[in-house]
Amino acid sequence: MNPKVRITVVREFASTALIDGDTGLGQVIAYNAMEVAVKKASEVGVSVVGVRNSHHFGIAGYYALQAVRRNMIGLVMTNSEALVAYTHTVGRNVGTNPIAVGFPKKSAANIV
């Protein structure tokens, strides 16, 4: 893991971006990527931002809330290496692949 990460935007269009995390801490990279996504969505209505070369990013719901706090729907997901084995199989063959979705509501608590 790179402790002195230099996050760069590899490719960018009005509603999309690809970010290289320079093999840094996933929490820092994911937060910045979601800020890019929210900014683009506020300008054009929707956005998709991908990240490469990043490590474990922690709780996915935190990043979905970045969109919800701005009255947007947030969808955040990642992949992982094979960490879990199916029942009655030999070896690890399934990633944990977290996903989070957040929806703003006009009354009461938001949904995440």
pLDDT band per the 50, 70, 90 thresholds, residue 70: very high
Cα separation values, 81 from 18, 41, 45, 85, 97, Å: 21, 30, 33, 12, 9
For every residue of 89-101, DSSP letters joined together read -SS--B----EEE
- Which amino acid appears at position 40 of this protein? K
CA 51 → CA 37, 54, 71, 77, 92, distances in Å? 11, 7, 23, 10, 25
pLDDT at residue 92 in the model? 92
Percent of the chain past pLDDT 70, that is, above it, reads: 100
Structure tokens at 49: 């931002």
For the chain, give every domain's residue range.
8-102
Please pick, among 8, 10, 35, 56, the residue that the annotation labels catalytic: 56
Cβ neighbours, 10 Å, residue 59: 13
Mean pLDDT across the stretch 32-44? Answer: 98
Are 19 and 47 in contact by the 8 Å Cβ rule? The answer is no
Residue-wise pLDDT for 5-29, tens only, equals 999 999 999 999 999 999 999 999 9
Give yes or no for residue 42 having a pLDDT over 90. yes
For residue 39, the Cα-to-chain-centroid distance in whole angstroms is 14
CATH 3.30.1370.60 for domain 8-102:
yes
* Residue 56 annotated to the active site: yes
Q: What is the pTM of this model?
A: 0.88
Percent of the chain with pLDDT strictly greater than 90 = 76
**Residue 108 pLDDT more than 90?**
no
